[in-house]
Amino acid sequence: MTPLPVSIAAAVASFLLLLIVFELIRSRRLRERYALLWLLTGAVLLALSVWRGGLNTIASWFGVETYPPAILGAVGALFILVVLLHYSTVISRLSDQNTILAQRLALLEQQQREGVTEPSR
């Protein structure tokens, strides 16, 4: 069985995560589309910390008999992995878009310097 202090600490930590994410969205420092994964992470961790019997059951599925809270760490790590992977895709898209912006800017500057008549389509 999960020691009670561990459950409490985990619950408080995941609740804090949810609170921080909420405040970041509210103050417009985090867009909703990037917050959904964090909210899911916080919600799942909170659920597993509070629902102690459930954590034991899940731990037993994976043969973790000695220390069920290890599952909390594993789930947390899994979510962090997913978030990181998501960020990699976001960064890739941003750098692609950045390239396009720089190219458009160069073309516009050239047009402005040299003057342009009717752009060819």
Partner 1 sequence: MAELAEVPVPPSGEILAQLGELKRIAIVPSLNEEASVGRVIDEIRAFDPGFDIVVVDDGSTDRTAGIAADRGAHVLRLPFNLGIGGAMQTGYRFAFEHGYDLAVQVDGDGQHDPAQLPAIIGPVLAGDADLCVGSRFAEGSGYQSSFARRVGIRVFAYVVSAVVRQRVTDTTSGFRAVNRKGIALFAADYPHDYPEVEATVMSVKHKLRLREVPVVMRERAGGASSITAFRSIYYMTKVLLAIFVGLFRRYAVPLEEDHHR
Token pair for residue 23?
Answer: 């405040």
- Alpha carbon distances (Å) from 102 to 29, 67, 93: 25, 53, 14
Output 78 or 105, the one with its CB closest to partner 1. 105
Side chain identity at residue 26, one-letter code: R
User: What x/- string results for residues 19 through 58 when contact with partner 1 is judged by CB under 8 A?
Assistant: ---x--xxxx--xxx-xx--x-------------------
> By three-state DSSP, how is residue 116 classified?
coil
Give SS3 for 90: helix
Residue number, 57 or 95, with CB nearest to partner 1? 95
3-class state of residue 1 by DSSP: coil
Residue 65 binds partner 1, judged by CB under 8 A: no
The reply to whether 86 sits near partner 1 by the rule CB under 8 A is no
| Interface positions with partner 1 (CB under 8 A) | 22, 25-28, 31-33, 35-36, 39, 96-97, 100-101, 103-104, 121
